[in-house]
């Protein structure tokens, strides 16, 4: 059985743990560097990226995650996607730089900050993960403003990329851990 870490400093790590177990992995709640050893992959959950960054600066955890991402697959959702980006706007902030994407925080504005949408993922997603529309929960979501050449868009919402992969890594600006549909976590499991 694959052992997948869930960064558990802040945010909705518990829901990711449950989603990973539904997808057939053993979930390990990671709070320090030592717990990264022996994991097959890592999930960075949603929450508040600024708070997570602050907590990651203790104890060399930020650098430990960068190093982990050079060796193993990492899946970031919402705040996790912000942390994975190469560049963050609104405002600019530090990140892991694991993916060649540019992300703008809180880009849907205040009135429309949370919603549930039915996505129609790209044919490639449907071939690999299973057919049909995908229910996506957005909560104060970022927008992916630029996707580098090496990255691939697997789903869009209103024309904007919301599910993107690059090599072993995956980001979603929505929260697949909050619905019963296991396909996005299943897609990540295929990378391990
Ligand atoms: N708005 C949060 C941030 O900027 C992300 C929201 C979320 O993870 N649901 O970090």
The string of pLDDT tens digits covering residues 111-161 is 567 899 999 999 999 999 999 999 999 999 999 999 999 999 999 999 999
What's the confidence (pLDDT) of residue 111? 54
The response to whether residue 79 sits with its C-beta less than 6 Å from ligand 1 reads yes
Atom of ligand 1 nearest to the CA of 105: 4
Atom of ligand 1 nearest to the CA of 47: 8
- Domain of residue 170, CATH code: 3.40.50.880
Q: Percent of the chain beyond pLDDT 70?
A: 98
The values of phi and psi at residue 75, to 5°, are -120, 115
Can you tell me the mean pLDDT for 101-105?
97
Domain count, the chain: 1
0.95 surpassed by pTM? yes
Q: Which domain holds residue 112?
A: 3-189
Find the helix or strand (DSSP H, E) in which 75 lies: strand 74-77
Average pLDDT, the chain: 96
Q: Is 95 helix (H, G, I), strand (E, B) or coil?
A: coil
Can you tell me the mean pLDDT for 72-94?
98
Q: Is 74 in contact with 81 (CB distance < 8 Å)?
A: no
Beta-strand relationship, 85-89 and 160-166:
unpaired
């Amino acid at each position: 059985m694959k052992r997948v870490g869930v960064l558990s400093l802040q945010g909705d790590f518990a829901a990711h743990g449950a989603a990973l177990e539904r997808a057939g992995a053993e979930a390990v709640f990671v709070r320090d560097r030592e717990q990264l050893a022996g994991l097959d992959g890592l999930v960075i959950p949603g929450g508040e990226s600024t708070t997570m960054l602050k907590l990651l600066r203790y104890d060399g955890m930020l650098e430990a995650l960068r190093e982990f991402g050079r060796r193993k697959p990492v899946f970031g959702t919402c705040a996790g996607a912000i942390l994975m980006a190469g560049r963050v706007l609104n405002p600019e902030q530090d990140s892991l730089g694991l993916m060649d994407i540019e992300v703008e925080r809180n880009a849907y504005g205040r009135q429309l900050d949370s919603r549930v949408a039915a996505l129609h993922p790209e044919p490639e997603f449907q071939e690999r993960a299973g057919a049909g529309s995908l229910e996506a929960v957005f909560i104060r979501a970022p927008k992916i403003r630029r996707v580098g050449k090496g990255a691939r868009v697997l789903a869009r919402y209103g024309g904007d990329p919301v599910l993107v992969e690059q090599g072993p890594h995956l980001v979603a600006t929505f929260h697949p851990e909050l619905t019963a549909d296991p396909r996005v976590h299943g897609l990540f499991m295929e990378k391990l």
